Amino acid sequence: MDSEPKPGPSAIWGVTAIAAAIALLHCLTNGRYGFHRDELQFLADARHLDWGFVAYPPLTPLVERISLALFGLWMPGLRLASVLAQCAVIFLTAGIARALGGSRLTQIFAAFAAGTALLPLFEGTEFQYTTFDYLWWVLTFYALTRLAASGDGRWWLLVGVALGLGCETKYAVAFLVAAVVAAVLLTPARKWLVSRWFWAGVAVATIIALPNLLWLIRHDFISYHFLQSIHARDVRNGRGAGFWLDQLKVCFNPGAVPLVLAGLIVLFRMPRFRILAFAATVPILLLALAHGRGYYTAAVYPMLIAAGAVAWSHWLATRTRWLSRTLVGIASVLVAACAALGTAVIVPLATSGPLQSFALSQNGDLREELGWQTLVDTLSQIRSTLPAADQQHLAILTGNYGEAGAVEILGPASHLPPVLSGTNSFWLRGYPTPPPTRLLVVGLDADEASSLFNSCQLAATVPYPPNLNNEESRYHPDIFLCGTPRLPWPDFWRSFQRFG
């Protein structure tokens, strides 16, 4: 790349066409299944807004509270913010390529390659904290690119905004913060340590992150204990075992491997842009050492793809027209083929037939969107058979946040009683006064239910489809009707705290 690149011509119309096509695809398909278990937790927390939650900071529930006010429980509307976030990533990727001197075609190619990886495609199908976390990471790299290319220190303010919003979205942003600090210290960018703009960016990030930090202090850093528990479970279950393979399969379009490699090489070779190379590689190395999940690093790749696309375009400009067109054609076919396969796996293109069977066999997250209404309907049927006295003092107690969220969000339409759960922020919300005397227990097996509660009996088995093969159908199909806890309610509740 040029050592002091001038911004390339605008490719706004081509990039807009890509973003619009992907947005339209999501909007047309995002109502075909049901809510994912994670979405049900976000929606439940959105009804109890605070400056923090056990599993994550407050931004995602806040976004969904706004979406609930605008769209109710209409899934395409609730997922619209996620779709727009991924469209923003497409524009930011093109913006990075343009800042590095990329042509219109280079910007369009980079935007398409970055927007059609498995993870960004998935992020447009659901609202998750990873959706917005991904956006803030890419925004940080965009700001760092503009900083390195222009030398204008005011871009540190946008870095601060992006990192601050990341702190209010997902705690894994700590790896990005560590990477930015390391990149500044280990490269010529250390000159910014004496700049007022750098410290202004630090102040902006701190101010934005402060409300959640105060919440954590008030709650004895409960989220830290949550993260410890989840990470220990992940290591125990081998969730990080495929870390390096996931970089290729999930984090970026496999057809863009030459772009990623070229981007990484060229950024390390150029002192002006070495800050970007370190900011991209440090999170990957830290998460690999920490046995993190492979997809946590996905947001570093749009910047590498953009840089690689610019580097390749400069190299191809010095080759013969035949060679240049041949290589561009091969790259286009590879990226498009991988995009088509990824779309068939990730996006709910069909609700029946071979295409649906293929997607459900490959995509466990799609299977986790099915069965929640069946669970709620079964609970409603059981409740309607109980004597009136039992119905007046009845509550539903669940073993995980998906079940709790399903009852809280979908249950009111069936007049279900309040839901109690020991998982994450449901546990913080406690139990009612006076406490219930009858419980419908979901998500526990018979032995655990009998050990915790008096007079448990099987009330029903949820009639999930036999081939559903998700967490609920495999492990938690039974519903038990139980009496009060064997321990007094305060003691039981203290012992019932769970992380999930």
The structural domain count of the chain equals 2
Q: What is the predicted pLDDT for the residue at 52?
A: 97
Of 30, 128, 131, nearest to 76 (Cα)? 30
Residue 356 lies in a domain: no
Of 211, 292, 309, nearest to 244 (Cα)? 292
In tens, the pLDDT along 388-416 reads 989 999 999 999 999 999 999 999 999 99
Start-to-end C-alpha separation, the chain: 46
Cα–Cα distance between 123 and 129 in angstroms, integer? 9
153 and 100 in a common domain? yes
Cα–Cα distance between 162 and 278 in angstroms, integer? 18
Contacts with 386 (C-beta within 8 Å, 6 or more apart), sequence order: 394, 438, 481
Kindly report the three-state secondary structure assignment for every residue of the chain: CCCCCCCCCCCHHHHHHHHHHHHHHHHHHCCCCCCCHHHHHHHHHHCCCCCCCCCCCCHHHHHHHHHHHHHCCCHHHHCHHHHHHHHHHHHHHHHHHHHCCCCHHHHHHHHHHHHCCHHHHHHCCCCCHHHHHHHHHHHHHHHHHHHHHHCCCCHHHHHHHHHHHHHCCCCCHHHHHHHHHHHHHHCHHHHHHHCHHHHHHHHHHHHHHHHHHHHHHHCCCHHHHHHHHHHHHHHHHCCCCCHHHHHHHHHCCHHHHHHHHHHHHHHHHCHHHHHHHHHHHHHHHHHHHCCCCHHHHHHHHHHHHHHHHHHHHHHHCCCCHHHHHHHHHHHHHHHHHHHHHHHHHHCCCCCCHHHHHHHHHHCHHHHCCCCHHHHHHHHHHHHHHCCHHHHHCEEEEECCHHHHHHHHHHHHHHCCCCEEECECHHHHCCCCCCCCCEEEEECCCHHHHHHHECCCEEEEECCCCCCCCCHHHHHCCEEEEECCECCCHHHHHHHCCECC
380 and 339 in a common domain? no
Mean pLDDT, all residues of the chain: 95
Q: Report whether pLDDT(278) > 80.
A: yes
For 153-181, letters b (16+ CB in 10 Å) and e give: bebbbbbbbbbbbbbbbbbbbebbbebbe
Output the CA angle 301-307-310, nearest 5 degrees: 140
> Which of 289-293, 405-409, 448-452 is least confident?
289-293
Cα–Cα distance between 417 and 355 in angstroms, integer? 39
Q: Report whether pLDDT(223) > 90.
A: yes
C-alpha torsion sign, points 58, 64, 66, 72: negative
| Residue carrying structure tokens 């491997």 | 257
Q: What is the predicted pLDDT for the residue at 4?
A: 84
Q: Report whether pLDDT(105) > 80.
A: yes
| Residue carrying structure tokens 């947005």 | 23
In tens, the pLDDT along 133-166 reads 999 999 999 999 999 999 999 999 999 999 999 9
Q: What is the predicted pLDDT for the residue at 238?
A: 83
169 and 120 in a common domain? yes
Cα–Cα distance between 323 and 263 in angstroms, integer? 21
Residue 317 lies in a domain: yes
378 and 341 in a common domain? no
Q: How confident is the model at residue 466 (pLDDT cuts 50, 70, 90)?
A: confident
> In the listed set 306, 328, 346, which residue is the last one of a domain according to the structure?
346
Q: Is 451:487 a contact under the CB 8 Å cutoff? A: no
**Domain hosting residue 376, numbered range:** 372-495
For the question of whether the overall pTM of this predicted structure is more than 0.85, the answer is yes
In the chain, pLDDT over 90 holds for what percent of residues? Answer: 92
Residue 489 lies in a domain: yes
Q: Report whether pLDDT(41) > 90.
A: yes
Higher local confidence (pLDDT), 259 or 237: 259
Cα–Cα distance between 208 and 74 in angstroms, integer? 31
Task: List the structure tokens of 301.
Answer: 């790749």
> In the listed set 328, 346, 364, which residue is the last one of a domain according to the structure?
346
Q: Report whether pLDDT(234) > 90.
A: no
> In the listed set 331, 346, 361, which residue is the last one of a domain according to the structure?
346
Task: List the structure tokens of 454.
Answer: 């008096």
Q: How confident is the model at residue 236 (pLDDT cuts 50, 70, 90)?
A: confident
Q: What is the predicted pLDDT for the residue at 400?
A: 95
Q: Report whether pLDDT(97) > 80.
A: yes
463 and 329 in a common domain? no
389 and 319 in a common domain? no
| Residue carrying structure tokens 């093969």 | 469
242 and 101 in a common domain? yes
How far does CA 328 lie from the centroid of its chain? 32
Residue 131 lies in a domain: yes
391 and 339 in a common domain? no
State the amino acid at position 107 in one-letter form. Q
319 and 208 in a common domain? yes
Residues forming beta bridges with residue 398, ordered by sequence position: 421, 442
341 and 380 in a common domain? no
In tens, the pLDDT along 187-196 reads 999 999 999 9
The count of other CB atoms within 10 Å of the CB of residue 389 is 10
Residue 358 lies in a domain: no
382 and 332 in a common domain? no
Q: What is the CA radius of gyration of the chain?
A: 25
The count of other CB atoms within 10 Å of the CB of residue 323 is 10
Sheet holding 457-461, edge to edge: 419-421, 394-398, 438-442, 478-482, 457-461
402 and 311 in a common domain? no
Residue 352 lies in a domain: no
Residue 363 lies in a domain: no
In tens, the pLDDT along 301-315 reads 999 999 999 999 999
Residue 327 lies in a domain: yes
| Residue carrying structure tokens 């070779």 | 269
> Which of 6-15, 464-473, 475-484 is least confident?
464-473
